[in-house]
Amino acid sequence: MLFNSISFAVFLPVVFLLYWFVARKSLRGQNVLLLIASYFFYGSWDYRFLFLLIFSTFLDYFTGIKIHEAETRKRKKIWLWLSITINLGFLGVFKYYNFFAASFAGALSLVGFHADYFTLQVILPVGISFYTFHGLSYVLDLYNDRIKPERDFINYAVFVSFFPLLVAGPIERATHLLPQIIRKRDFDYHQAMDGLRQMLWGFFKKMVIADNCAIYVNDIFSHSSGYSGSTLVLGTMFFAFQVYGDFSGYSDIALGTARLFGINLLRNFAFPFFARDIAEFWRRWHISLTTWFRDYLYIPLGGNRGGKWMSIRNMFIVFLVSGFWHGANWTYIVWGLLNAIYFLPLLLLHKTKQNVEIVAKGRLFPSLKELTGMIVTFALILFSFIFFRARDLHHAFAYTAKIFSPSLFSLPHFKGDEKIAPLAILILVFFLIEWIGREEQYAIEKIGLKWHKAVRWALYYTLVMAIFLFAGKEQAFIYFQF
Amino acid sequence: MKKFLAEVLVFLIILLISFYLTFMRANGKTDPFYLRFTSPKQHSLILGTSRAAQGIQPSVLDSILPGSGFYNYSFTIGHSPYGPAYLNSIKKKLDHQTKNGIFILSVDPWSISSNANDPNNPDRFRERKLAIGKTPVVNIRPNFFYLINAYDKPFYHLLPRQKSSIILRDDGWLDVKFKIDSLKMEQLIEKKVDSYRKNNLKKYKFSDVRLEYLTKTITYLKNFGRVYLVRLPVHPRMMEIDEEFIPDFDQKIRQISEQTGTPYFDMSFMNDSILYTDGNHIYRESGKVVSARIGEWIAGQEQ
């Protein structure tokens, strides 16, 4: 069940009304309803994957208690590794087995051996990377004595399976979400309205910006050999807008939906395309994953405590693993590597935290230095996105080579370019609104709040009508595949 | 909570009215299919692919067979080859009170073929995922089902006064209205023939299942009136491709005609005397002649 589907438009109001009218009197009732709704939501993709989700939930619930109860550090470690091994084992089988088998056979053939290997004909269970990391953070926090185990299975299962975040995050932390799950929620008008507003902006990003860009991205990337360098640059820009609109739009819808149920989820995006350097970009892009890797990989590896070379090594590991997390393809690994390379100068010069505040805070326009920083960062990100989007490395290199050819200086021309004007205007308006609202949690959070109610609602009406009139062909969310 | 629900409800009502008004702007210029899913249930139907959609004009038939009230419910080779989805849609479009309906089933080799790898697996028929398979209700206006599931452009296209040389008329006839000179006609024929030879001829395969569904469609419609099979004229060069594709096509149709007791009118004798927009589709002026001939033939059969 996609957020941008008719079935979700029916599902959400039904669950909302049951939650606040039937189950509102008891915490138990609220959580049981959320769990049933979440399993229904997940099962609507493929009910067979539900068993995997329930097994994964039970595994972490059980090992979590065992970790807590273990009397020695050694026993705690055994339970921790059991959980990690099984969790990553599932992820490995479903997501990475075919990649490793093919890569291993490929490596052997390079040294003259021929290896037959078999591939698994399995479909990747939707959201497996997200809920696996979700569960892992819980057992790791328990192991590090940051939290106490949740002994109520229903509460824990809601923490793992809460439907707004189940298939594409944000990757929650037990320290943040569990306290909200074990506390009865009361309806709050302002929180619910804020949720609807955030959902509205998310739908706009997804259905208007991302889905319309997708049409051109698919065509340009599929037929890249026949297009000029300038067209390929434009194709990459469209992809940047697509992937941002798609994933940050999904996150906004997820956060907004959760607010309707009285739950606040972690922020996942903070206007990354206004970042002035790569370090800032990564503090603003897919924040829940970046901080996950920081807390559960970078810091345990030693972080920056072991000197410069240790920091560099750890930073490269984090980016490579992050790339690999996105998919079993060398393109993602190169994408991660590129970002690590971009990050390196900042690390060496101790400038990773030179841009912490949002750009041009309290001002309308950025300074020339800020503008330059944003443009350079955006260009670097665009280049790395070629690898993120290409079907394989060969395609990515051919695409790049074509960009850096004389045709870069020709006028872009692609299928359907005569109809591009409405989309170009929409993208412009979109970035203008994002710029205006860049100091808030999401772009339209505060826009119009001081206006007369009728005017404010007219703004929301305009946005809904824009979604209705300009929505592109329905596309699945990109991050579902991860 | 009450305030929240009340505000959301009012907002939703305003939105739904706006959506409704936008959808009401959809008309015969919206696309070549929409209007057919908005007209009431019908009692005399013209069925087939785009050859029939463009080639058979209900108004001409009505003038020869008064009171018939023909409706053209033909689409394209993608949407409406004979098969389960089309039959299902026909059942929905047909007024079940009909007793003396007239049903003209246009047949051509492509209407009993499939471009799926397995031409006999109905699950692979592409019309399942097109308007004909995705529109569960075929007689409401505005048709939300069609516009949401099958309309393939953003809805802002519905807002301005639409200009189009392709107009779907109220009786379901697809009126392709453009001026044509002999040079342009030759170019269009060349292009279409080339496309059929390079693409369709290679990709399509005869389908026993579709042929079976042609028979099922005939049998079903016979419960509501008389059924007639017609093979429309096509340009001689297109005819060559048709014959190359299914050489015994005519034989197959005659066999069905005999088995089901359905008269069959092979109009290929008119191939040379008709004007076409592209070799595959009959030009609107020639369409009048062809429709009149069909009307006269049916009138003759009914005497």
Nearest to A189 among B3, B19, B156 (CB): B3
Percent of chain B with pLDDT over 90: 81
Percent of chain A with pLDDT over 90: 76
Quote the tokens at residue B44. Answer: 């005399």
Question: Rounded distance, CA A250 to CA A125, Å?
Answer: 18
Q: Which residues of B touch A472 (CB under 8 A)?
A: 154
pLDDT surpassing 80 at residue A136: yes
Q: Indicate the SS3 state at residue B174.
A: strand
Helices A27-43 and A47-69: crossing angle, nearest 10°? 130
pLDDT for the residue B235: 94
pLDDT for the residue A477: 65
A with B: how many residue pairs have Cβ under 8 Å apart?
A: 39
pLDDT for the residue B108: 95
Give, in order, the Cα–Cα distances in Å from B69 to each of A374, B229, B236: 66, 18, 32
Phi, psi of A148 (to 5 degrees): -100, 155
For the segment B251-286, what is each residue's pLDDT rounded down to a tens digit? 999 999 999 999 999 999 999 999 898 889 999 999
pLDDT for the residue B71: 97
pLDDT for the residue B187: 84
Beta carbons of B4 and A461 less than 8 Å apart? no
Beta carbons of A192 and B4 less than 8 Å apart? yes
CB–CB of B89/B37 below 8 Å?
no
Question: B113-114 and B44-47 as β-strands: parallel, antiparallel, unpaired?
Answer: unpaired
Distance from CA of B222 to the nearest CA of A (A): 38
Q: Which of B35, B67, B10, B266 is nearest to B166 (CA)?
A: B35
What residue of A is the nearest CA neighbor of B152? Answer: A473
* B155 has a chain A CB within 8 A of its CB: yes
Q: Report the pLDDT averaged over residues B30-48.
A: 95
pLDDT for the residue A480: 61
Nearest to B154 among A196, A460, A471 (CB): A471
Q: Considering chain A, what is the average pLDDT of its residues?
A: 91
For the segment A466-478, what is each residue's pLDDT rounded down to a tens digit? 999 998 776 666 6
CB–CB of B214/B124 below 8 Å?
no
DSSP string, A174-193: HHHHHHHHTS-----HHHHH
pLDDT surpassing 60 at residue A120: no
Q: Which residues of B touch A422 (CB under 8 A)?
A: 154, 156
Which long-range contacts link A336-341 to residues 24+ away (Cβ below 8 Å)?
A: A338/A383, A338/A384, A338/A387, A339/A278, A339/A282, A339/A384, A340/A315, A340/A316
CB–CB of B265/B294 below 8 Å?
yes
What residue of A is the nearest CA neighbor of B23? Answer: A469
* B12 has a chain A CB within 8 A of its CB: no
Percent of chain B with pLDDT over 70: 99
Q: Report the pLDDT averaged over residues A149-173.
A: 92
pLDDT surpassing 80 at residue A311: yes
Question: Rounded distance, CA A79 to CA A77, Å?
Answer: 5
Q: With bands split at pLDDT 50, 70 and 90, how would you rate the model's confidence at A4?
A: confident
Q: Which of A405, A415, A393, A418 is nearest to A228 (CA)?
A: A405
Distance from CA of B86 to the nearest CA of A (A): 24
Quote the tokens at residue A480. Answer: 């579902």
ipTM: 0.83
Question: Rounded distance, CA B301 to CA B294, Å?
Answer: 10
Q: Which of B259, B286, B230 is nearest to B74 (CA)?
A: B230
Beta carbons of B11 and A460 less than 8 Å apart? yes
pLDDT for the residue B63: 95
pLDDT surpassing 80 at residue A107: no
Q: Report the pLDDT averaged over residues A423-434.
A: 95
Q: Which of A345, A403, A103 is nearest to A227 (CA)?
A: A403
Token look-up 């005999």 returns: B258
Percent of chain A with pLDDT over 70: 94
The reported pTM is: 0.87
What residue of B is the nearest CA neighbor of A466? Answer: B156
Beta carbons of B156 and A470 less than 8 Å apart? yes
Give, in order, the Cα–Cα distances in Å from A373 to each of A234, A352, A354, A377: 20, 14, 12, 6
pLDDT for the residue A229: 94
* B148 has a chain A CB within 8 A of its CB: yes
* B2 has a chain A CB within 8 A of its CB: no
pLDDT surpassing 70 at residue A119: no
- The backbone region for A103, taken as left when phi is positive above 0, alpha when psi lies in -120 to 50, beta otherwise, is alpha
CB–CB of A250/A479 below 8 Å?
yes
CB–CB of A455/A461 below 8 Å?
no
Q: Report the pLDDT averaged over residues B164-173.
A: 92
Cα dihedral sign, A242-A248-A249-A254: positive
Total count of residues recorded for chain B: 303
Q: Report the pLDDT averaged over residues B90-103.
A: 95
Distance from CA of A189 to the nearest CA of B (A): 6
Beta carbons of A473 and B152 less than 8 Å apart? yes
Question: Rounded distance, CA A441 to CA A32, Å?
Answer: 30
Distance from CA of A413 to the nearest CA of B (A): 21
pLDDT for the residue A116: 63
- Give the mutation candidate from A464, A467, A474 for the B interface (greatest B CB count, under 10 A): A464
Nearest to B155 among A20, A464, A468 (CB): A468
pLDDT surpassing 70 at residue A482: no
- The backbone region for B145, taken as left when phi is positive above 0, alpha when psi lies in -120 to 50, beta otherwise, is alpha
Q: Report the pLDDT averaged over residues B174-196.
A: 83
Q: Report the pLDDT averaged over residues A137-148.
A: 93
Beta carbons of A470 and B15 less than 8 Å apart? no
Q: With bands split at pLDDT 50, 70 and 90, how would you rate the model's confidence at A161?
A: very high
Q: Which residues of B touch A457 (CB under 8 A)?
A: 11
Helices A47-69 and A73-91: crossing angle, nearest 10°? 170
Beta carbons of A461 and B15 less than 8 Å apart? yes
Beta carbons of A422 and B11 less than 8 Å apart? no
Q: Indicate the SS3 state at residue B258.
A: helix
- Catalytic residue positions of A, numbered: 326
